[in-house]
Amino acid sequence: MKKRKLGNSNIEVSALGLGCMGMSFSYGPPADKQKMISLLRSAVDQGITFFDTAEVYGPFTNEELVGEALSPIRDKVVIATKFGFKLNADGTPGWAGLDSRPEHIRQVAEASLKRLNIDAIDLLYQHRVDPDVPIEEVAGAVKELIIEGKVKHFGLSEAGVQTIRRAHAVQPVTAVQSEYSLWWRTPEEELLPALEELGIGFVPYSPLGKGFLTGKINENTAFDSTDFRNTLPRFTPEARQANRALVDLLGRIAERKKATPAQIALAWLLAQKPWIVPIPGTTKPERLVENIASVDLDLTSDDLSEIESAASKITVEGARYPEKLLQMTGR
């Protein structure tokens, strides 16, 4: 497996990470725990060293799963988790709001360490920017945890460029995680140039468009009632039908390269910058193998130009989140 560094930091990880959220949360009922432990360990055997989880995934159950699976091979992996949500008082999935007060950050970090069964969190992200807490206080709280050896690196998720700059001035930001793929390219406008300037790594989540870019979803696909894609404007049947043009483009390139649409989508992301590390998620061993193969798929400059030219003519239909969730991004 090829390796990449997250910006100017000393964190070197596999060129492709593994997003673990869907094993416990968001995409229908939780997957079988023993099968997911097996999948996580298989990922390590296949060269993946970078794993992404969060307190809110479950809540708690995803961190516990990742901890049980990876703590025996702790020295081989880099584990990222996140703080920043106020969880529902009754323990049900979802959240009641945002909370990045320094005392809450510390509580979450201490609890995450226990659930993950590790001595230090490799990368601790603020999950969403909290407008009620100055980012300097957030960065300062994580800085204290880093000084104490409980956290190694600081990250931000879905933050705006000015917020990133302010945080970075207090505690260097190692990585920013935001959605980025062929069907959500807004990060190219301001975010990627700023990260390049500051030497910060970029971790795209949903690099396969929440499954849409694999070509396995069409306007007739029915999701489980607990699948959060049911709430996304981009996943209405009408939007899915309109957005097939992007999948068809990937399919044409894939056929020529003897690859799959998912592999082309991931290879495209990897080709954008050497400090980009996508974290596609899966619960299926065969998809894991498929995704990993994208790392060795070289897209030529002609391939990339063709994708660029064709994609520029396609208008993606539907917002990526409902309004309430969109308000939490880009702050």
**Would you please indicate which residues are annotated as catalytic (active-site) residues?**
57
The token pair at 26 is 């968001």
| Alpha helical stretches, state H, 71-160 | 102-116, 135-147
**Residue 113 φ/ψ region, left for φ over 0, alpha for ψ in the -120 to 50 degree band, beta for the rest:** alpha
Q: Which of 108, 13, 88 is nearest to 51 (CA)?
A: 13
8 A C-beta contact, residue 14 and residue 126: no
For every residue of 254-321, which 3-state class applies, written as one string? HHHHCCCHHHHHHHHHHHHCCCECCCCECCCHHHHHHHHHHHHCCCCHHHHHHHHHHHCCCCCCCCCC
Angle at 183 between CA 182 and CA 186, to 5 degrees: 90
**The tokens 């009754």 sit on which residue?**
90
CA separation for the pair 5, 203 (Å, rounded): 11
* Phi (first) and psi of residue 174, to 5 degrees: -80, -40
* Phi (first) and psi of residue 321, to 5 degrees: -140, 160
CA separation for the pair 114, 117 (Å, rounded): 5
